[in-house]
Amino acid sequence: MYGMKKHWLIFCFMPVVFAQAQSTKAISVVSGPMLGQVELRTASIWIEVSSDITSAALIYWKQGHPETSRKKIYDGTLGKEFNPLRIDIGGLEINSVYEYQFILNQEKSSAVGSFHTKDLWQWRNPAPDFSFITGSCAYFNEPVYDRPGKPYGGDSIIFESMAKDTAAFTLWLGDNWYTREVDLQSPWGLWYRASRDRAQSVLRNLLKNMPQYAIWDDHDFGPDNSGSSYGLKDVSREIFMRYWCNPFYGEDQKGIYSQLSYSDMDLFLTDDRYFRSADEFADSVNGKPNPEKHFFGQKQLHWLEDVLVQSLATFKIIVVGSQTLNPMSRDEGFYKYSYEYHELMVFLNENHIKGVLFLTGDRHHSEIVKAERKDNYELYDITVSPFTSGVAKVRGTEINNPARVPGSLVEKRNYARISVRGKKNERTCMVQFVGEDGKTLYNWSVTEQQLTR
Ligand SMILES: [Fe+2]
């Protein structure tokens, strides 16, 4: 009898308890889940939780096989004002779909998703065809702190279009959020901006549907056009590492450069801010390039040269926040850092590095810029910008930039889908600039033979 009463009482109060638990869960997940790096046998899953969460864990299982379920407990600190966390799991099977669910405060949460591990094609099959999506400059309006007048940020629907893409991953090319005057003078401000922008609901599907990788540029590093002298750069670095799941972040606790590989493409994710001298530094001294004016910094540049010369990939993508090859840009770019620019160009020539392409952002328009080289193949810089920030129309003499691939200029909000297709020794890299509505605005391609001397 007593037992019956107890069950009846539980039944009566259950809807109230359930409703309270539901509302707690809704507050507990600030943003995410987001897929981080997914490899052959490992995956990283990211989420940000509120300060009331004291424990977090991930359960995951091979799709259709609940008996394979395993649990990984988060062993980092929780309960702070901002609590982004990632859980890294291993021991997965290749080319398999896994499902996951976060457990927060010992309860199953609404943060669920799935991912697909990479296939082991090496030594077995031709390099798989694949595509990824990419772009830069995401501005989410916050009118109380924004410049008065017309909002700088536009329709964020582009992220829903991107979320529907079947691409292998997203690569964010910098200015992934915009720190404002209210953010730049304190660590709290920098943390606030990353947390607030990541939590925008329009990002939810994109973050969950495919792995997300990133570099930064000035606005998500610090002030406009900032570089190595920004006093909070190590706070920015810590935030970057906590909000993105790149494979690694620079060397010796400095910078955020990293590397990704997918099929027969290597992507070298550079850091164009942490080590960078001010744009205003003299570019030449006594008629010679100024060796004190850094863009990548010598350590990162040597790393880049080392990984390039070792790379066996058909396409070697050097990913940079600022443009690299454009001789006519009014804005900052690698081209205006003559010493390191010259060093990298000489290195590429002398070491006969094949298959190099540059991929950049920042400009608030998209275009492809070509650099001709004596006795070597032409280099291309694919610039993709902006996602949602204001479009900057090309002005003055740059309108008729002879270095631009004719027809490639896109002065609309857009992203790019970059695809690699074709048989061995006949691989092609295709670039599509895609508008907010998912419609193609421009197509361009280059073959691996074109990127060979
Ligand atoms: Fe920028």
Distance CA 111, CA 100 (A): 8
pLDDT tens readout for residues 215-233: 999 999 999 999 999 999 9
**Using CA of residue 194, residue 197, residue 201, residue 205, what is the dihedral sign?**
negative
Distance CA 206, CA 160 (A): 7
Q: Let me know: does 319 contact 267? Beta carbons within 8 Å.
A: yes
DSSP code of 60? E
3-state secondary structure of 44: strand
Average pLDDT for residues 158-169, to the nearest whole number? 97
pLDDT tens readout for residues 341-362: 999 999 999 999 999 999 999 9
Per the model's pLDDT, the better-predicted residue between 25 and 161 turns out to be 161
Ligand 1 centroid – CA 364 distance (Å): 9
- Res 91 pLDDT > 60: yes
Domain boundaries, the chain: 28-116, 130-447
Distance CA 97, CA 88 (A): 16
pTM score:
0.93
Ligand 1 centroid – CA 263 distance (Å): 29
DSSP codes, 275-332: TPPPTTS-SEETTEE-TT--SS-HHHHHHHHHHHHH---SEEEEEESSBSS-TT-SS-
Q: What CATH code is assigned to 28-116? A: 2.60.40.10
Ligand 1 centroid – CA 323 distance (Å): 9
Ligand 1 centroid – CA 291 distance (Å): 24
- Res 239 pLDDT > 70: yes
| Identical fold, 28-116 and 130-447 | no
Report pLDDT for 158. Answer: 97
If you average pLDDT over every residue of the chain, what do you get?
Answer: 94
Considering only CA atoms, give the Rg of the chain.
23
Ligand 1 centroid – CA 330 distance (Å): 13
Ligand 1 centroid – CA 345 distance (Å): 23
3-state secondary structure of 119: coil
Ligand 1 centroid – CA 447 distance (Å): 30
3-state secondary structure of 103: strand
Report pLDDT for 12. Answer: 38
Ligand 1 centroid – CA 120 distance (Å): 37
Report pLDDT for 358. Answer: 98
Ligand 1 centroid – CA 3 distance (Å): 66
Ligand 1 centroid – CA 78 distance (Å): 32
Query: Among 3.90.1420.10, 3.40.50.10890, 3.60.21.70, 1.10.260.40, what is the CATH number of 130-447?
Result: 3.60.21.70
Ligand 1 centroid – CA 363 distance (Å): 7
Ligand 1 centroid – CA 313 distance (Å): 28
Ligand 1 centroid – CA 218 distance (Å): 5
3-state secondary structure of 115: strand
Ligand 1 centroid – CA 279 distance (Å): 13
Band (pLDDT 50/70/90 cuts) for residue 453 is: confident
Is residue 187 reached through a cis peptide bond, with omega within 30 degrees of 0 on the bond before it? Answer: no
pLDDT tens readout for residues 113-146: 999 999 999 999 999 999 999 999 999 999 999 9
Ligand 1 centroid – CA 379 distance (Å): 22
pLDDT tens readout for residues 178-223: 999 999 999 999 999 999 999 999 999 999 999 999 999 999 999 9
Band (pLDDT 50/70/90 cuts) for residue 27 is: low
Ligand 1 centroid – CA 415 distance (Å): 16
Band (pLDDT 50/70/90 cuts) for residue 15 is: very low
Distance CA 166, CA 92 (A): 22
Ligand 1 centroid – CA 7 distance (Å): 61
Burial pattern 193-209, b for ≥16 Cβ within 10 A else e, equals: bbbbbbebeebbebbbb
Report pLDDT for 11. Answer: 39
Band (pLDDT 50/70/90 cuts) for residue 335 is: very high
Measure Cα distances from 443 to 18, 147, 368, 420, 431 in Å: 52, 35, 11, 13, 6
The pair of structure tokens assigned to 321 is: 């926040």
Distance CA 132, CA 126 (A): 19
DSSP codes, 391-413: -----GGGGG-TTBPTT--B-SS
The number of CA neighbours under 13 Å toward the Cβ of 40 is 7
Ligand 1 centroid – CA 69 distance (Å): 43
- Res 24 pLDDT > 70: no
Residue pointed to by tokens 């006795």: 375
